[in-house]
Structure 1
Amino acid sequence: MGADRVGGGRRKRARAGVSVACGAVLLAGCASMPDSGDLRGVDSTPRQDAQVRVWALPPREDADAREIVDGFLEALTSDDPEFETAHKYLTKEASQAWRPNASLTVLADGPERSQGRPSDPDDSSDSVSFSLVGQKVATVNAQQAYAPAAGEYTNTLHLVREKKSGQWRIDRPPPGVVMGKSDFLRNYTSVNKYYFASNSSTGTGGLPVAVADPVFVRKKVDPMTQTVSLLLAGPTRWLNPVVRSSFPTGTELKKGVGSLAPDDQNKLTVPLNVNADRVNGEKCREMAAQLLFTLRDLTPTGVEEVELQGANGAQLCPPLDESGADFVVAHAPSKDEYQYFIDGKHRLVRLASGSSGKEFTPVPGALGDGDKQLRSAAVSRDERKAAGVTSDGSTLYVGSLVSGTSLGEPVLHSAGKTQNDRLTTPSWDGGGDLWVADRDPARPRLLLLKEGAGEPIEVDTTGLDGRIDAVRTAADGVRIALIVEKDGKQSLYVGRIERGDEASGEKAVAVVEPRVVTPQLEEVTAMSWAGDSRLVVVGREHGGVQQMAYVQVDGSTPVGSAPAALTGVKALASSEDEQLPLVAYSEEDGIVRLTSGAKWQQVVKDGTAPVYPG
């Protein structure tokens, strides 16, 4: 879900002890349940209907310690809102101290339990321990932010036999929640919250630029209200330094508000507490835009209009819909009227994005004339100018995409001794600045040219260990994707762009807290932004073959189809408009493109380096 439209997952197996609540209105009826017989585990369970909620059973009378552990682990994967059933497996003191929403650990195959001492939990001992083990895949923190993880998970569950009741209960549960990957995909879905860039140029017309902040929410536990609460609580820690929210500090849902839901016209009314009562009209519209972008893909029909109410129930500003949001926030993807690539004559050429034809023409201006032979290029997001790297990789030019204009002097040189040790393909950010990496081993660096001109600014990349082989900036201007090579391994990182104050001694621009988003790949050869919080990548796992896949900026994998396989991919380009085709360069087939629901089609055999604006 969210702007990149990722969906849910399939549960691989079921454990004993679940009951299903059926809605009489949503379902034709519920199958009758047997009133006798034992509960047994089954090998698999069909994917649950979106409106069916799974509930765990509470502990039965005189259950032994093993049953208590299994029941507790099952309850962690159920749909009861506050993990009420899981709390019933704990002692009173443990239940009061346990914070299930503080953290979530995702394991490859779910936690495996092994019994500690005593060897027989049914003997006269009043305590017993069980070890939980598994291989970590990811963690989700209290802000619901996802992060890939690796290594072994080990924890201990300690149980006691309560003196008064004689029942086994857990007095030392694991911190937070732990579950297998299949259960995680069944229970949680990714949603993009939206904030505004605070450290980059504003968008078209001086409007604030929207930035996606992905989080995971529980699919069947009122995801809309969860998402609104997370949005009001503010951005995740990683993104917080470079974005702002228009909601005043301390803004929450009005006390007593239960479940939020749009009406039959897909309008959502959001009552807020007193902290939001004094916002002006502009701020209120920005607040409504944040909600609208965040929630519009959360339900099958979407939220099409948002109204904000103050603590007294009064309307804070007129309701906002999609058409009105265009005048509030710079969020809609660029037009991307053309797809671009380098043709057999080493010129920058283009073809119409909306056309299924294969006719391409040189771009207007000097970069399309062929006087300077190019090996790669980048086109500004307004499609008014372009940057081109010469065929030997040593020189960068910037020129206007207007007929009859001259190219002028180069804006950058690399002193690298070989073509592979010189300039990468450049990239334009949403504010009109140009980024490029120089791979010269004697002086590897990431450079920024303001509006594509002037003295290059060396970007601080202290957090990166390795040489940058590819650069792609996001349209929001606050995130950057980098392929970094070290010891023969190429990894994909996403970093936060911070712009400091040179006068105070701070670095003018820095890439901060870069994080690996494809830890399973040891050779990433190409990548491109493919949405507000999604990239498309070409890479290879250890001992595997080349593959193409989508990945979220937090390192999670969107549920859905990966692009159709294509051999020998060396470069690819994707538009932020998901309706436009994916374009790639294959050593075997040249320039090819993939439209939704179709197969790869060749555009031209003799062409390389495809790009969309950006």
Structure 2
Amino acid sequence: MARTSRPLRARLRRLGAVGVVIATLAWSSACAVIPVGGPFAVGEAGDNDPMSKPFQRMVAIEPQPGWSPQQVVEGLQAAMAAYADDPEILPKYLTDEARQAWKPGGPVTVLDNGAKYDESGKIGDKEVTVVISGTQVARIEDDDTYVPVSAGVDRKFTLVKDKTGEYRVNSLVGGLVLTEADVARAYRPTNLYYLNGVPGSGGANADMLVVDRVRLRLKPTESFAKTIIERLLKGPSKALQGAVENVFPHGTRVESVRALDDRVLINLSGPIDADGIFSRGLQAQLRWSLTSNNVANGRSIEVQLDGEPFYSSDTLTIEPKLPDDWLGSASNVVYYTNSKGAVYSVGHDGPGRVVAGPAGQPNGPYSDFAVITGGYATGQGADLIAAKSKAGGIWVTRAAADGHWQQWIQGASADLTAPSWHRDGTLWTYDRRNKAVLRCNPSAGRGPERIAAPSLDGFDVTRLRIARDGVRVAVTIGKHEIRVGAITGEGASTMLGNFQTLSTVNDENIMDLAWRDGEHLVVLSSSNAGSVVKEINVGDGTVTKLPSDKRLHTLAAQGERILAGTLHKNEILESNLDKQNWTAKIATDADTPIFPLG
């Protein structure tokens, strides 16, 4: 921030004289940053409070006499950062005309910390234009989603002198403009959890949680636990609307959230069915939404309805640890193909073992294998293995001695993307010739059917991957773009929608991608400098670079494990994230690694 002006320093000295203690100070021409932990009903501020997160609150002051136009704009920007906590300061930087026209709503523009101010365009001594030049790095949508952006910004502010001779902003584009530092100070990345059941079903068929990542603003008047729950009740962001179930009925309210010695007490009100049909999903949504954000860790959660026990005979208590299967159970089995196309399975450790049935035989005509374990495929005792055939179409066999290849989907091999299993046992692909998403469900007595995906119309879809939660879908467009959407509806009304661009790379070619879990994609790209491996959070686009190796050719991922096939198709490598390198997992005659689903 800019050096503090003399009037502001004098004012802060006066504030200090009357007992305001500033423990941590960051300067602007109009702001001070004071560590605030929020309301502490129980415990002390900071890490000892299980309900809140310590943060630094931006405290803005009104414009001071004698400030230059640039100082006024800097002060205005500080007032924007403090607006949610103190909306009274910002209007004092505006003329009456601008005050009437400006609206705080809409997406929040996030600029990089290196934005520069340029005072220019003077018209005599009465009108001045100040331009903030920088890079927009993101926007925060009205539904609290954080969307990465990379675009140059020249934001113009026209200032005029008021009747007292002081500069005020006369034109202001709607919405708040914050810096990365403002966002880091006042917002927290937050994971909310919804159910993978069909919306409106009450969570009856749900068996997994689906992550919805948002940016929530910390409030000095409210515990972070209450902020999380209130946002959870509003329902999913637009990325998951129509695709996940929220068991909290519309109109549910949070009356209070209190931390007691050994538990957190949540008092709700509204149209919740007190007979308990929502209890299982409610427990999962609440527990994981709180503990995944390091709130109320290690404490049981007691839920009340209108201040009374949730059930007529007992209180709904959520224990500190829920079964991990809500997040999906990861199998230790890894599959891979050898140079002749035979499929092998290998445990977490130990040598590979050829699978039973035709998939374990040399399969020269087959490629792009995908596996679903028998527990997911209804009516199938053994694992199912799908593959594209050079003769055409996608074929499936059971990994059993009596298995045989059956064609599930027709079409030229070059026109179909690699098969992708849904956790319900259906098989999906994209037909590039006919521009159609295809789903096959033989267990229901139906052949391939088209699934509507209007957001993909007119685009060159080169890959389609369904996440293990059965909700999110990733596609690649050509060689340079990744989009993520969701499966909405059910039965004949099923469609792929909610697509948003996750990543665009102009100087790299996307070689492969894999779901590590429902929240992260692992992407392998090639560039002039060699291969690039990165993990992308599909909720907010956060990119983490992973160890790379010039030998990498294909990827498979599950949980903490990431495997790669090599260009020479002679070994399977495993990523060692701690040591930032790749080591041999299968050292001889190994081509492509495969994890079930994903």
TM-score surpassing 0.5? yes
Match of 2:468 among 475, 478, 487: 475
1:44 counterpart residue number: none
What do residues 59-115 of structure 1 show as CA deviations (whole Å, max 9, x unaligned)?
453123321211222344469745665565456886787654642112345544333
RMSD: 3.9
2:271 and 2:323 map into 1 onto residues whose CA distance is 20
Find the aligned partners of 1:583 and 1:202 in 2 and give their Cα distance. Answer: 37
Q: For residues 286 and 153 of structure 1, what CA distance do their matches in structure 2 show?
A: 44
The one-letter code sitting in structure 2 at the alignment partner of 1:364 is: A
Q: Contact 1:497/1:509 (CA < 8 Å) preserved in 2?
A: yes
Q: How many residues align?
A: 546
Does residue 140 of structure 2 align to residue 140 of structure 1? yes
- Which of the two has greater strand per residue? 2
More contact order relative to length (CA 8 Å, sep ≥ 6): 1
Match status 1:511 vs 2:491:
no
Superposition map of 1:486-501 within 5 A: 489-499=479-489
SS of the equivalent of 1:302 reads coil
Partner of 1:61: 64
> What aligned pairs does 1:83-232 form with structure 2 within 5 A after superposition?
86=90, 89-90=93-94, 100=104, 102-109=106-113, 111-118=115-122, 123=125, 125=126, 128-163=128-163, 167-170=166-169, 172-181=171-180, 183-185=182-184, 187-199=186-198, 206-218=205-217, 222-232=223-233
Match of residue 530 from structure 1:
516
Per-residue displacement from partner, 1:431-473 (whole Å, max 9, x unpaired)?
221112344xx43543211167841112333322333222210
For 1:225 and 1:99, locate their aligned partners in 2 and report how far apart those are by CA, in whole Å.
27
- Pair 1:415–1:160, CA change in 2 (3 A): same
After the TM superposition, which residues 76-475 of structure 1 pair with which residues of structure 2 at under 5 Å, given as runs? 76-77=80-81, 81-82=85-86, 86=90, 89-90=93-94, 100=104, 102-109=106-113, 111-118=115-122, 123=125, 125=126, 128-163=128-163, 167-170=166-169, 172-181=171-180, 183-185=182-184, 187-199=186-198, 206-218=205-217, 222-254=223-255, 257=256, 260=257, 262-263=259-260, 265=262, 267-273=263-269, 275-276=270-271, 278-299=273-294, 302=297, 305-315=300-310, 317-321=315-319, 323-324=321-322, 331-353=326-348, 355=349, 357=350, 359-370=351-362, 374-381=366-373, 382=375, 384-390=382-388, 392=390, 394-402=392-400, 404-416=401-413, 421-439=414-432, 442-450=433-441, 454-464=446-456, 465-475=458-468
Q: SS where residue 443 of structure 1 aligns?
A: coil
Q: Following TM superposition, by how much is the alpha carbon of 1:401 offset from its aligned partner in structure 2, in angstroms?
A: 2.8
Distance 1:364 1:203 in 2: 41
Unpaired segments of 5 or more residues in structure 1?
1-13, 21-28, 42-48, 503-507
CA contact (8 A) 1:348 1:374 kept: no
Asked whether the equivalents of residues 535 and 553 of structure 1 are also in contact (C-alpha less than 8 Å), the reply is yes
Return the offset for 1:389. Answer: 1.8
Q: Which amino acid aligns with 1:449?
A: C
Q: 1:456 to 1:262 in 2, by over 3 A?
A: farther
1:446–1:468 contact (8 Å) kept in structure 2: no
Question: How far apart are 1:361 and its partner, in Å?
Answer: 0.9
Shift of 1:613: 1.1
Structure 2: which 5+ residue stretches go unaligned?
13-20, 31-45, 47-52, 377-381
Q: Please show how residues 532-547 of structure 1 align to structure 2 within 5 Å.
A: 532-539=518-525, 545-547=530-532
1:494 Cα deviation after fit: 1.0
Task: Output the TM-score relative to the length of structure 2.
Answer: 0.79
Task: Provide the secondary structure at the position in 2 that maps to 1:272.
Answer: strand
Q: Measure how far apart 1:210 and its partner are.
A: 2.3
The answer as to whether partners of 2:69 and 2:130 remain within 8 angstroms in 1 is no
Q: Match of 1:602, as an amino acid?
A: A
Residue type of the alignment partner of 1:455:
G
Whether 2:584 is the aligned partner of 1:602: answer: yes
What code does the residue aligned with 1:215 have? V
How many percent identity over aligned positions? 22
> d(CA) in 2 for partners of 1:530 and 1:187?
30
Is the CA contact 1:367–1:388 (under 8 Å) kept in the aligned structure 2? no
**In structure 1, the residue corresponding to 2:254 is in which secondary structure?**
coil
Asked whether the 8 Å contact 2:451–2:494 carries over to 1, the reply is yes
Separation in 1 of the partners of 2:452 and 2:109? 33
- CA 1:219–1:570 in structure 2 vs 1: closer, same or farther (change >3 Å)? farther
Deviations 1:211-231 (A, max 9, x none): 222211236865433322211
Q: Structure 1 counterpart of 2:500, which letter?
A: R
* Matching residue of 1:590: 571
Q: What TM-score, normalized by structure 1, do the two folds share?
A: 0.77
